[in-house]
């Protein structure tokens, strides 16, 4: 039994499928399957219940997984502690961000962190909130810039910035005649949203207090850049984070921009990390630098 075996077992529990688990571990499906069979033979028990389309842990597999996750957390802590002992501001630092933050913030963050901490090897990963949270919990990331609070007590968050939300609309739209916009003023059947899985979509739906998501327009896309282009082309309206304006993304002749005055029309950006992380000194220093970029 080795550390890699425990990572494979954790991946099976998370994905419920050998192919998806192998992909998440960056190995072939046969490699992962054979290694887990060897683990079961070594322990003398069946850890995984296999079907043609799925895989799930047996009761004993669940018990082994609980201990395996504790072991993997300890291994990650050992690696981080030894690196921090020599120099807390050196070594590889892996951070992630959600797509509705990355294009506006990450280039400046990379530049500032690279200048402030020249001995850090910065590794960046962009993904949706659920995937980044998963990466944090399994030790694949040190920190992530998220716009939602931690979903488990195993994670902590340092507040970075309370970001206002803006309404964008085509020039000549009826919204241009209003001085102050509230959610009640918005024609929701014209709203262009991000696709399912993006937390900013969920925040928009919650802000608009929709009982049925079908109230919104059918159009949904995977990036804010596409939403902005569609609004500029007169295809609808949308709600976007204020960073999109400060970074110049909304500087287009066909787009009108108005602040949203409704209560709760903000999102809080956080630097999220594992509670057990021994790199707290570095993480707090990084949070300070990111907050400086946002001022």
> Does this chain's domain 3-82 share its CATH topology with 162-267?
no
Q: Quick one: residue 91, left, alpha or beta (phi over 0 = left, psi -120 to 50 = alpha)?
A: left
* Number of alpha carbons in the 13 Å side-chain half-sphere of residue 241: 27
* Pairing status of strand 193-194 against strand 220-221: parallel
Give pLDDT tens digits for 135-179: 999 999 999 999 999 999 999 999 999 999 999 999 989 998 887
pLDDT of residue 47: 95
pLDDT of residue 212: 47
What is the residue extent of each domain of the chain?
A: 3-82, 86-160+269-294, 162-267
CA distance 1 to 269: 40
Architecture per CATH, domain 162-267, reads as: 3-Layer(aba) Sandwich (3.40)
CA distance 101 to 130: 15
Task: For the full predicted model, state whether its pTM sits above 0.75.
Answer: no
Residue 96 · residue 124 · CB < 8 Å: yes
Least confident of 14-23, 203-212, 247-256: 203-212
pLDDT (mean) for 2-6: 93
The domain 3-82 is classified under which CATH number: 3.90.550.10, 2.30.29.30, 3.40.50.970, 1.10.10.10?
1.10.10.10
Residue 87 has pLDDT above 70, yes or no: yes
Cα dist from 56 to 17, 62, 112, 208, whole Å: 8, 9, 44, 38
Domain 86-160+269-294 carries which CATH code?
A: 3.40.190.10
């Amino acid at each position: 039994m080795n550390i890699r075996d425990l990572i494979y077992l954790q991946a099976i529990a998370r994905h419920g499928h050998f192919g998806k688990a192998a992909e998440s571990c960056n190995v072939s499906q046969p490699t992962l399957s054979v290694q887990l069979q060897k683990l079961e033979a070594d322990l003398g028990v069946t850890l995984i219940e296999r079907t043609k389309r799925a895989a799930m842990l047996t009761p004993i597999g669940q018990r082994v997984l609980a201990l395996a996750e504790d072991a993997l957390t300890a291994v990650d802590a050992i690696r981080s502690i030894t690196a921090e002992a020599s120099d807390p501001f050196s070594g590889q630092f892996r951070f992630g961000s959600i797509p509705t933050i990355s294009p506006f913030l990450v280039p400046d963050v990379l530049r500032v962190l690279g200048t402030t901490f020249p001995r850090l090897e910065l590794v960046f990963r962009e993904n949706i909130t659920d995937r980044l949270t998963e990466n944090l919990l399994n030790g694949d990331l040190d920190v992530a810039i998220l716009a939602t609070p931690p979903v488990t007590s195993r994670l902590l968050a340092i507040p970075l910035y309370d970001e206002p939300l803006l309404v964008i609309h085509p020039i000549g739209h009826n919204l241009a005649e209003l001085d102050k916009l509230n959610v009640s003023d918005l024609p929701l059947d014209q709203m262009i949203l991000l696709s399912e899985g993006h937390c900013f979509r969920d925040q928009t739906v919650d802000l608009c207090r929709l009982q049925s998501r079908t109230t919104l327009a059918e159009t949904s896309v995977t990036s804010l850049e596409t939403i902005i282009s569609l609004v500029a082309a007169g295809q609808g309206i949308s709600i976007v984070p204020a960073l999109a304006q400060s970074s110049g993304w909304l500087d287009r002749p066909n787009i009108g921009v108005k602040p949203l005055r409704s209560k709760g029309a903000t999102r809080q950006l956080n630097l999220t990390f594992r509670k057990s992380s021994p790199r707290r000194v570095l993480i707090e220093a990084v949070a300070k630098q990111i907050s400086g970029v946002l001022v």
